[in-house]
Amino acid sequence: MDGRIAVLASGAGSNLQALLDDPEVGPHIALVLSDRREAPALDRAGAAGVETAVLEPGAFASREDFDRALAAFLEERGIAFVLLAGFMRILGPHVVGGFAERILNVHPALLPAFPGAHAVRDALSWGVRVTGATVHLVDGDVDHGPIVLQEPVPVHPDDDELSLHRRIQEAEHRLFPEAARMLLGGRLKVEGRLVHILKDVPG
Ligand code: GRF
């Protein structure tokens, strides 16, 4: 397995930590990039000795300029794979097109239910008994690309957004490194919306 990974994160970075701690994935993480200078994820990267970078959207004239700069930044650093670990920006066509089938996102619901930034709150208000975590490949639409792995998480009667999100994150921390290992190992074969998970590395 080779391939330099960039992890993009805006927040606490618990998923980043799970990726850093994975013995197969962690050593490939070459860059942690955030859109927020104060993101605790950057401290986790620093503690692991991984290069960090901040690209603040406010510093760019338009979304397109930000997208183009991000794509160029990743390409200049020889990044092969991009993992979105709580990155709260929508990627534009330069990044999505430049890294087609090489970007994974983790989402705190069983897609296609509850896409968007408030998935845990939305699932609770809908009254579902089961929600969960999804890892999917990223395409041009938000929380939409082909699904790689999912894990259900039951909703308890006394759950609030925080307690439910914590339990979903435990599932995320299992699923995301597992899916990243598959991507790195060339084991994901995409056919339209379907992702076939190969047992052995092709070739
Ligand atoms: C995760 O729950 C992820 O599903 C969502 O944002 C959260 C990020 O958490 N997209 P963390 O920064 O990895 O702790």
The 8 Å CB, 24+ separation contacts for 193-202 are 193/146, 193/147, 194/146, 195/137, 195/146, 195/147, 195/148, 197/148
Give the Å distance between the CA of 85 and the centre of ligand 1. Answer: 6
Ligand 1 atom closest to Cα of residue 133: 4
Nearest CA to 9 out of 46, 60, 59 is that of: 46
What pLDDT is recorded for position 202? 58
Could you state, in order of their start, the residue ranges of all structural domains in the chain? 4-111+136-150+172-197
Q: Choose which residue among 110, 169, 175 to substitute to test ligand 1 binding: the one with the highest number of ligand atoms within 8 A of its C-beta.
A: 169
Structural class in CATH, domain 4-111+136-150+172-197: alpha beta
Instruction: Return the number of other C-beta atoms located less than 10 Å from residue 77's C-beta.
Output: 14
Q: How does residue 201 score in pLDDT terms, banded at 50, 70 and 90?
A: low
Going by pLDDT thresholds of 50, 70 and 90, the confidence category of residue 2 is confident
pLDDT in tens, 26-74: 999 999 999 999 999 999 999 999 999 999 999 999 999 999 999 999 9
User: Which residues are catalytically annotated?
Assistant: 107
Amino acid identity of residue 152, one-letter, is: P
72: CA distance to ligand 1 center in Å?
Answer: 25
Residue with tokens 């960090």: 52
Percent of the chain at pLDDT > 70 equals: 98
User: Model confidence over 128-137: pLDDT tens digits?
Assistant: 999 999 999 9
For residue 112, cis peptide bond before it (omega within 30 degrees of 0): yes
Q: What is the mean pLDDT of residues 109-113?
A: 98
